[in-house]
Amino acid sequence: MKIGFIGLGNMGGPMAANLAKAGHEVTGFDMADVAIDGVAMAPSGAEAAKGADVVITMLPNGAILRAVAADIIPAMTAGAALVDCSTVDVESARAVADQAAAAGLLSVDAPVSGGIGGAAGGTLTFMAGGSTDAFAKADPLFDIMGQKAVHCGEAGAGQAAKICNNMILGATMIATCEAFALADKLGLSRDKMFDVVSTSSGYSWTMNAYCPAPGVGPQSPADNNYQPGFAADLMLKDLRLSQQAAEAVDADTPMGQKARDLYAQFVENEDGAGMDFSAMLPRFEKRGRD
Ligand code: NAD
């Protein structure tokens, strides 16, 4: 396939490289001066999109996605597919899908889980929203860039799945970290805490697979001085998107709201910026009750 790829940062760069390695003809564009193995660089987003069967975007946020979409949609050929893999607000995803449909294009919102390691290794999970035809067109590319793609529903459903998953993840990480800090103060060893909880009803992905306590459970960013991993800043971004969505549809999400507030405090007023999101544990460790 002829593929345009716009946004070749930490995630987009390796994803584009994997598509090129699989034999696709990939033309890329990024505002920054980047070079990606096997990817020809175009002078603009519109040039990268021209004549492509599929254009993939991997951008920082919804405002940038909207601007890029306005630029590239007129350059795309009717019947081609616009596949946005960025994490953005549901409203922007749906607005871009409407514009694409008006121009006779297929579109999919397909945010990912799996981080930079998943992007490099081609093991991402895609959560996709769009028509069946649009998903079918993008699916062979998801196969190359990832290990699993779930067609979640119509436009916006991929972003909805992503922010709901990450709202659970953020709140669960906080609960796991505060429980470890309480256990410390109660004189319970972290090894015993892990042993019990990881096989009891308090188990979770954050405890069992990504344990925030160093030296306990499987290897995780806690064992690497809390270098990300999944940065607290990115968790904050996703928690804000989940609250923006909850406000838009009048959903009561008190745990998600609290998780957003705690990550905002951690990233903006404490020392959480640039740390893994599991660094909430040392944060709680240092604190007493307010
Ligand atoms: P990044 O900042 O490394 O990459 C974004 C790229 O977009 C940059 O290279 C930037 O120069 C480029 N860009 C910005 N504006 C542009 C424009 N107008 N035209 C062309 N290029 C433009 O970010 P990333 O870590 O690659 O994340 C990309 C997306 O993936 C985000 O939405 C993020 O939330 C999501 N995501 C990231 C991770 C992760 O672990 N990094 C995990 C899951 C999802």
pLDDT, tens only, 271-288: 999 999 999 999 999 999
Q: Is the distance from the beta carbon of residue 108 to the nearest atom of ligand 1 less than 6 Å?
A: no
Pairing of strands 40-41, 54-57: unpaired
Ligand 1 atom nearest to CA at 116: 40
Nearest CA owner, ligand 1 atom 7: 7
Distance 262 CA to ligand 1 centre (A): 24
Other residues' Cβ atoms within 10 Å of the Cβ of residue 192: 11
2 counts as catalytic: no
Distance 285 CA to ligand 1 centre (A): 32
For 35-43, the CB contacts below 8 A with 24+ separation are 36/8, 39/5, 39/8, 42/4
Instruction: Give me the residue label for tokens 């904050």.
Output: 236
The dihedral region occupied by 72, where left means phi > 0, alpha psi between -120 and 50, and beta the remainder, is alpha
Given a cut of 90, whether residue 242 has pLDDT beyond it is yes
**Cα separation of the two ends of the chain:** 58
Cα-only R_g, the chain: 20
Distance 239 CA to ligand 1 centre (A): 17
- Which of 34, 41, 59 should be mutated for ligand 1, with most atoms under 8 A from CB? 59
Strand partners, 2: 25
Give the burial string for 226-252 (b: 16+ CB within 10 Å, else e): bebbbbbbbbbbbbebbbebbeeeeee
- Beta carbons of 88 and 241 less than 8 angstroms apart: yes
pLDDT bucket at 34, cuts 50 / 70 / 90 = very high
Given a cut of 90, whether residue 119 has pLDDT beyond it is yes
Catalytic one among 21, 162, 192, 258? Answer: 162
Q: Per-residue pLDDT averaged across 82-105, rounded?
A: 98
Q: What is the pLDDT of residue 70?
A: 98
Other residues' Cβ atoms within 10 Å of the Cβ of residue 74: 11
Q: Per-residue pLDDT averaged across 91-96, rounded?
A: 97
Given a cut of 90, whether residue 210 has pLDDT beyond it is yes
Q: Is the distance from the beta carbon of residue 102 to the nearest atom of ligand 1 less than 6 Å?
A: no
Q: Is the distance from the beta carbon of residue 118 to the nearest atom of ligand 1 less than 6 Å?
A: no
In angstroms, rounded to a whole number, what is the distance separating the alpha carbons of residues 150 and 116? 20
Q: What is the pLDDT of residue 22?
A: 98
pLDDT bucket at 176, cuts 50 / 70 / 90 = very high
Q: Per-residue pLDDT averaged across 148-173, rounded?
A: 98
Contacts of residue 219, Cβ cutoff 8 Å, sequence gap at least 6: none
Strand partners, 3: 26, 54
Given a cut of 90, whether residue 290 has pLDDT beyond it is no
The secondary structure of residue 226, as a DSSP letter, is T
